[in-house]
Amino acid sequence: MTVDWKGVYPALTTNFTSGDELDLSMFNKNLQFQLDAGVDGIVLAGSLGEASTLTLDEKEILVRSAVETVDGRVPVILNIAEGSTREAINQARLAKKWKADGLMLLPPMRYKADARETVDYFKAVARSTDLPIMLYNNPVEYRIEVTLAMFEDLQECDNIQAVKESTRDVTNVTRMINAFGDRYKVLCGVDTIAMEEMLLGAQGWVAGLVCAFPAETVAIYRLVKAGQVEEAAQIYRWFMPLLEFDICPKLVQYIKLAETQVGFGSEFVRAPRLKLAGKEREEALKIIETALATRPALPEYLSI
């Protein structure tokens, strides 16, 4: 299906059983939770999805399962985060075979490629597929920044259509729009600055805490885009202590804990990650419990 690169795209967690196998029952329960709340697409096997620990077979199972559950209602996007161009191209081709609707593409992993190498990598993957692509620009975590000059060079690849903007510099939204107009869709990839970036022109939000609070996330997006800024801000202010989980090194564990507390996930993570424990877990639970106790009433946002 067509990918518009607008709206809320959950970066879904990957659910595991106590025996470290994929928990498709819980995965699909959470996916339906997202769909019922009105999300506009889903992203699989991203950082929050513990991509670096997943096998190729597991990625195929997740994509095929999601495609079946979604049943054409929203696009299914597969993340590609690989160390070699060869394997990135392989996974792009497999994603098409598995019926994914688009790709999210990180710069090369582990090796810190320079600008020329990074652009060549992106072009090689883009030329290997006709799937639409959203680049993931996150130099804070992955050390490589996709600069305006690099985006200029990448314009020749028609299927590179969007960017998950995670530099944590809100002015990059304005820079992208000034430089390229609507050539690239900009989606915020950092929960704690999502409303700010949407007000500056970002067309979407690749969200993390949406995994536990999809209705609130979609409500904020739709209210902002409808110009109901104060109503959106009230929800966003309530949400902020939870959104801070998205920028923690243990964001996977924090967000999975939140999913568990709302009944749509489990805390099982894949080693070397471990579940939160002790004071760290107690403090996270306090934030979640406070949020649940003060949860705001939402407007009829689906009709906005």
Measured CA angle at 177 (ends 89, 185), to 5 deg: 40
Query: What pLDDT score does 287 carry?
Result: 98
**Helix (H, G, I), strand (E, B), or coil: what is residue 8?**
strand
pLDDT tens digit at each of 304 positions of the chain: 899 999 999 999 999 999 999 999 999 999 999 999 999 999 999 999 999 999 999 999 999 999 999 999 999 999 999 999 999 999 999 999 999 999 999 999 999 999 999 999 999 999 999 999 999 999 999 999 999 999 999 999 999 999 999 999 999 999 999 999 999 999 999 999 999 999 999 999 999 999 999 999 999 999 999 999 999 999 999 999 999 999 999 999 999 999 999 999 999 999 999 999 999 999 999 999 999 999 999 999 999 9
- Return the pLDDT at 303: 93
Q: Which three-class secondary structure state does DSSP give residue 97?
A: helix
pLDDT at res. 281: 98
pLDDT at site 175: 98
CA–CA distance, 203 with 6 (Å, rounded to integer): 5
pLDDT at 122: 98
Q: What is the DSSP letter of 22?
A: B
d(CA 106, CA 144): 9
The dotted CATH code for 7-303 is 3.20.20.70
Backbone angles phi, psi at 130, to 5 degrees: -105, 5
Rounded to an integer, what distance in angstroms lies between the CA atom of residue 77 and that of residue 91? 12
Neighbouring CB atoms inside 10 A of 73's CB total 12
pLDDT at residue 35, as a whole number: 98
Please tell me the distance from the alpha carbon of residue 59 to that of residue 44, in angstroms, as a whole number. 8
Q: Sign of dihedral through CA atoms 151, 206, 182, 161?
A: positive
What pLDDT is attached to residue 217?
98
**In the predicted model, what is the mean pLDDT of the chain?**
98
Q: Give the start-to-end residue ranges of the domains of the chain.
A: 7-303
Would you state the pLDDT for residue 65?
98
